[in-house]
Structure formats: structure tokens, C-alpha cells
Structure 1
Amino acid sequence: MNLVLTVLEIVAPVFLLAGIGFAWVKLGFEYRIQFVTQLAMTLSVPCLIFVSLMTTQIDPAALSALSLATVAAYGGVTLLAAVIVRVFGLNRRTYLAPMIFGNTGNLGLPLALFAFGDTGLGYAVVVFAIMAIWSFTFGIWLVAGSGSFGKVIREPLVWGTALGALFLVQGWETPVFLTNTLSLLGQMAIPIMLITLGVAVARLSPGGIGRAVVLSLIKLAICIGIAALAGWFFDLDKIAFGVLVLQVATPVAVTSYLLAEKYGADAQSVAGLVVVSTVLSVAALPLMLGFLL
């Protein structure tokens, strides 16, 4: 009974905030998703990542092990997802990226924080950063036919991660007034991202629901299995293991839909994957947390 209450305490704030965004749109209120997303990804999330890494008490060696496990996990998911797409005869440009990349930002970071505290958030930002770099390069290449390494270099979240890791390794800290300022900016990230997730889901027009259900279940099974194997192989501690599995197994990210829309893939089918996988996560995430806690 205590475990059930603990899981509910973790997932309830996540889905309530996403529900606020969903209801906001359905009530006809304005929400400029492009502006809010740019604010979060350019300013708030990089500050959150930097401060989380700078102030974390995690052993740098543990973060290195998690980084290697994350690379291995996403490598394994990429290979197996490619096989699934080929076996099912699906269009690679439309389906492969959504089968690989999850919502490690909007959903994964808050869940890691609520489930595992500041230590979990410190681990989660590493997984998020690695996924983002893979998405900005290989993910864009899948959909558009060309990568964007230059864009990766210009992304503030990459610089926030690099600087945070440097400060962590060197034991440096910014002046208190600057740390407090960056912390306040970073604290915006989680509620903004969750509300924006609800707004985005409310505005999507899903297509191919039956296929989306099957693929979402396959993606969930692949991601949990491979992430667990990677965590076991690299001998991660309990919190790092839980964060890795949780992050890799998050539902399809809204950015997959935006990329499909931008580069001419089947955006409605991707929207179906986003909506269905997010709805399935309402049941799947509490079950996962029950095993990981």
C-alpha cells in the first residue's frame, strides 16, 4: 500500500500539470507553444542542467558509467527499432525516429526528480543531453536526409551540460547570487515543459491509431529491455539504473511530430504515436516505478 501511494505521489503532479495544459487549450485559451518551447530550451533547461550538475554530489565516475550505459542503450534501441521498421515494412523517415527517441525532457526530467530526488535529476540531465545530441544529428538525418552537427554545437543545452560537467569535475561553483539566479531560471523548466506537453497533445490530430497502439507497445518493451540490459552491464547503482530505464522508456516526444511536419514525413501517423504512447504511459509509468523504486 505504501508503494502504491509513493508511486501516485510521483506521477500525480506530472499528469496534473500536463492536464492543465490540455484543459487550457480545450477551454480556448491562447498558448504560444513555439515561444514557450524556445524559452524553455534556450534559457530555462540549460540553467536547470548546469545547476543540477554543478551542485550534485554524484561521483563523476558514476556519471561516466551512466553516460556509457546511455550511449549503449540508445545504440541498441536504434538497431532494434531499425529491424522492427524494416520487418513491418514501415516508412523509415516517418517511423524510425519516433521509435527511438522518447520524451526525456518534458516527461523524463520531472519524473526523475519526483521519483529519485536531486540525485535522480542529476543523472536524468545526462541521459537527456545524450539523447538530445543523438536526436539533433542522427534523428534529423533520418527524417530530413541530412544531419545537423552545427546545430548541436549552437544548442544552449549542450553548453549547459558541458559547463556543468566541467564545474562538477573541477569542484567549482558560481557565486551565490549567480547560482540563485540560475536556479530560479531552471525551476521554470519542469512546470513549463509539462504544461506544454499537455498543450501539444491537445492540439495533435492523431492518425493510424491501431498501428500506433502496436508500435507504442513494441517501443516500450524494446526500450525497457535494452535500457535494463545496459544498466546491468555497466553495473549502475539503483538510482542510476532506475533513471536510465525511466528516461529511455518515456513515450514518443512531440519533437518527432514537429520534425515530421517540417520535413514532409507522415506527420499525422507520428502524431498518433505521440498521443497513443503518452496515453499508454499513464498506466505504464506507475508500473515501471513500482519495480524501480
Structure 2
Amino acid sequence: MQGVLSGFAVIAVVIGVGYVLGRRGHLGRQGSEVLTTLAFHVASPALLFTTLARADLSVVFSGRLLVTALSTAAVAGVFVAVGVVRRWGVGRTTIGALCAGYVNSGNLGIPIAVYVLGDASLVAPVLLFQLVGVTPVALTVLDLTTAGEKGPLWRRLLTPLRNPIAVGSLAGVAVSATGITVPGPVMDPVTLIGNMAVPAVLLAFGISLRGSTLPLRGGERGAVLLAVALKSVGQPVVAWALAVGVFGLRGAQLLDVVVTSALPAAQNLFTYASRYRVGETLARESILVSTVLSVPVLVAVAALLG
């Protein structure tokens, strides 16, 4: 219980600082955009590289990962189906699908894994799956649709290799898979730069709240409600059903997959939406509402399955 509350407290404080900076204009009118650009092009790729370079890739093949992958695909598929019917557009639907199934496994998942599950490594399968599997695919879709990119097929197929976040993730996987030891003089500055990623994302998110309307009152209300319902309720329920009914997980393993599935939408999704200038309100409101709702959801999960 303490891990849930402490994890949310850290995030709330940093977002609050960003909101104050936005109200007072200390970073100027472009403050949020500058922080978002910094996170997307520099800090996040560095963080993903250092994280994955040190990771044990054997967790990718665990049964828990299959539960995570299937539950993510299920809720994202529901949002995509509704988006197609409602004609929300590829970019907006992609952001919404991410908000429905992409959990905050980093800055919130790690402390919760430590204090609630007792082992920070238990969040690794989710982290790796999202970084290596979901992120490159989603960003490729956004690259090819929002930018209206044309050109030869080979160039479009190489889109993931020109995205800084995808490059950082894939480079980290390559280092881990080959067992290469990156020298300290190289890894240390990359680590230092990567440490800017989480605070930059949270500060940018806080600044973006300045002047924005209350959630669920604008034109994105329907899409936000759908994304939040799928994220806060749909994904943990699907994960529980799969874990118990298909994979036969019980006890600590069941608690692990349900808790990680009940985490709210990740703040870096707002970075992606801002970078591609699509679904920004959808991302901001979905992250905010799902984060608030995840507190009672995680407390309930921990009480029922713990």
C-alpha cells in the first residue's frame, strides 16, 4: 500500500512543479515544447538504451509477458475498432489505443514493484515488451501517417530506424543480447542524460495543464472515457482472466500481472502526442484521469490478491 501512495506522491509533486512553472511563465511560452523535444530526441532514447543494455532479456519469454501482451492487444484492439467505426483517424486512434493499454511501467511501475510486489525486476517484462514491441510499432504508424511521408517502400520500412526512441531501445537490446560491456566513460554521460527523461516528461505534462479545461468536458470526452475505462478496468480484468483461466497463475504471480496491468497510462504518451501533434488533449486527459483512478484500483487489487 505504501508503494502505491509513495509512487503517486512523487509523480504528483513533479507535475505540480511543472504546473507552477507554467502559471508563472518561467520557461516561456515554449517551455513545454522544449522539454518535450528534449525528452523525445535526447533524454528518453538515452534512458531506454541504458535500461535495456543492463536488462536480462530472458524475461521476454516468460508467461507473465504473454499475459501482458495479450491483455494489451485486447484493450488496444477494442479502441482501434471503435476508432475505425467512429472515424477518429489513424493518428488519433493510435494515441488512444496507447492510452488504453500502455502502462506506466517506469517511473510509477518500478516503485510500486518494489513496495507492493517486493521485487523491482518484476516490472521488467512489461517494460521490455512496451519498449521493444509496442513503441517502435506505434511510432512507425505515427511517422507514416501524421507526417504524410511518401517515398520508396524501402525508406518507409526503415522508419523505425530513424526514430530516436526506437533507435535507443533497439541499441540497448543489441548490447544486452551480445553481452558487450559499454565502457564507463561512454555509459556514464548517457546515463546522466537519460536521468533527465522522467522529470522532463512530468514537468512538460504539468506545464501543459496550465490553461487547459477540466478533463471530460471537451470534444475528446468520448475517446477519453473509452481509453480510461479500458486502461483502468478493462486491462486488469482481462489480465486476471488470462492469468487464471489460460495460464493458471496463482498467488504472487497472479498479483504481479494484475498490478502491472492496473498501472495508469504512461506520461511519455503525452510526449509522443505532442511530438506528432495529434491527440494531445486525448493523451493528456487520459493520463490524468487514469492516474487518479488507478489509486483506488491498485489498492483494491493489492487488498484482494495480496
Asked if TM exceeds 0.5, the reply is yes
Amino acid at match of 2:45: P
Tell me the distance in 2 between the aligned counterparts of 1:76 and 1:141.
24
Three-state SS of the structure 1 residue aligned to 2:209 is helix
| Aligned CA distance change for structure 1 residues 53 and 248 (closer, same or farther; 3 Å) | same
Q: Which is further off, 135-144 or 189-198?
A: 135-144
Q: Cα distance, 1:63 vs. partner?
A: 2.1
C-alpha displacement of 1:36: 2.1
Q: Identify if the C-alpha distance between structure 1 residues 46 and 202 changes in structure 2 by more than 3 Å, giving closer, same or farther.
A: same
How many residues are matched? 280
Residue in 2 that maps onto 1:160:
168
Change (3 A) 1:243 1:153: farther
Equivalent residue, structure 1, for 2:296? 287
Aligned counterpart, 1:115: 112
RMSD: 3.8
Secondary structure at the aligned position of 2:42 is classed as: helix
Structure 2 unaligned segments of length 5 or more: list them: 115-119, 151-155
Which deviates more, 26-35 or 233-242? 233-242
Instruction: Give the Cα separation in 2 of the matches to 1:15 and 1:241.
Output: 25
- In the alignment, which residue of structure 2 is the partner of 1:195? 203
Return the offset for 1:111.
0.7
Distance change >3 Å, CA 47–CA 120, structure 1 → 2: farther
Hey, what does 1:225 align to over in structure 2?
A: 237
Distance 1:124 1:51 in 2: 16
Q: Counterpart of 2:107 in 1: which secondary structure?
A: helix
Distance in 1 (CA, whole Å) between partners of 2:268 and 2:171 is 28
Residues of 2 paired with 1:106 and 1:35: CA distance? 24
Letter in 2 for 1:126: L
Change (3 A) 1:86 1:48: closer
Separation in 1 of the partners of 2:276 and 2:93?
A: 11
Which residue of 1 is the match for residue 283 of structure 2? Answer: 274
| Contact 1:41–1:156 (Cα < 8 Å) also in 2 | yes
* Matched residue type, 2:196: M
- How much does 1:188 deviate? 1.3
- Does residue 52 (structure 1) correspond to residue 51 (structure 2)? The answer is yes
Match of 2:21 in 1: 24
2:257 aligned partner:
241
Specify the alignment match of 2:79 in structure 1.
81
Task: Give how far 1:119 is off.
Answer: 2.4
Q: 1:178 aligns with which of 186, 191, 202?
A: 186
User: How far apart, in 1, do the equivalents of 2:138 and 2:235 lie?
Assistant: 16
On the 8 A contact 2:205/2:284 being kept in 1, the answer is: no
1:151 aligns with 2:159: yes
Among all aligned residue pairs of Structure 1 and Structure 2, give the percentage whose two residues are the same amino acid.
18
User: How many Å separate the matches in 2 of 1:188 and 1:172?
Assistant: 25
Contact 1:101/1:252 (<8 A) preserved: no
- Residue of structure 2 in register with 1:37 after alignment: 36
1:110 Cα deviation after fit: 0.7
Distance, in Å, in 2 between the alignment partners of 1:283 and 1:136 is: 26
Structure 2 letter corresponding to 1:45: S
Measured after TM superposition, the shift of residue 11 of structure 1 is: 0.8
Please give the per-residue CA displacement for 1:200-236, whole angstroms capped at 9, x wherever unaligned: 2335457236535632443323333345556665688
- Paired with 2:144 and 2:184, the residues of 1 have a C-alpha distance of 42
- In terms of fraction of residues, the more helix-rich structure is 1
